[in-house]
Amino acid sequence: MPVIRPFRSGDEPALSEICLRTADAGADATGVFDDDDLWGEVFVIPYVTRHPDLAFVVETDDGRVAGYVVGTDDTRAFEDWFAGEWWPRFAQRWPRPTAPEGERTRQDGTVAYAYGRRAGAEPFGDTYPAHLHIDLLPELQGQGFGRRLIETLVDALRDRGVTGLHLAADARNEGAIAFYPRLGFERIPSHEDVVAFGRTI
């Protein structure tokens, strides 16, 4: 039976792989970008770097990591850290896109998003100061692990006195959009192409 455990150093390659294989609105994003590594360096590895104690994984019977939840307890502080310390190290590998917005590739769009991250860029961080990212490989989906991962993170955030949690799902990911309300999340106003949810802790 798969088990949930805290993140450990050395899990990073597995987390990046899971992120890649679920990044296209829940489907495999391999080959969507010119550089598959971009997904993990934007959406999962920064979190385990800054908050390894707010990261939890699902380990299978054969010792593989096949799912995770990662998060931050302070979105404003995290985004300032991402902009000032994390993302600058990738400036040479992924320069700021120069193509006009209407001519950008999907990779350009994600790189531009990374360059635009900063405290206050998302409208949810004051009411719901924590946020998360969660991904499960198909082999684990529909078995309750998503709920258990989120509740594990919520318990850790509650212990820190955090009062609210938010997340954003791709507007095309119908499964995720149906899932989060069952865990006590409510839809909140969000940017185009994403559906955001907030939950009081």
Question: What pLDDT does residue 123 have?
Answer: 74
Determine the 3-state secondary structure of 192 from DSSP.
Answer: coil
Single out the residue of 28, 27, 21, 19 nearest to residue 47, CA to CA: 19
In angstroms, the CA 74 to CA 24 distance is: 26
pLDDT at 131 over 80: yes
- Rounded average pLDDT over 130-156: 96
Q: pLDDT tens, 152-181?
A: 999 999 999 999 999 999 999 998 999 999
Tokens of 49: 């770097």
pLDDT at 120 over 90: no
Question: What pLDDT does residue 3 have?
Answer: 98
- Rounded average pLDDT over 46-65: 98
CA torsion, ordered 117, 104, 38, 120, to nearest 10 deg = 10
Cβ-based burial of 56 (10 A; exposed 0-12, middle 13-18, buried ≥19)? buried
pLDDT band at 192 (very low <50, low <70, confident <90, very high): confident
- Rounded average pLDDT over 13-17: 98
pLDDT band at 58 (very low <50, low <70, confident <90, very high): very high
In angstroms, the CA 172 to CA 176 distance is: 9
Q: Tokens 């531009």 identify what position?
A: 112
pLDDT at 122 over 80: no
pLDDT at 42 over 90: yes
DSSP 95: P
Tokens of 123: 């409208």
Fold for 3-200, please state it: Aminopeptidase (3.40.630)
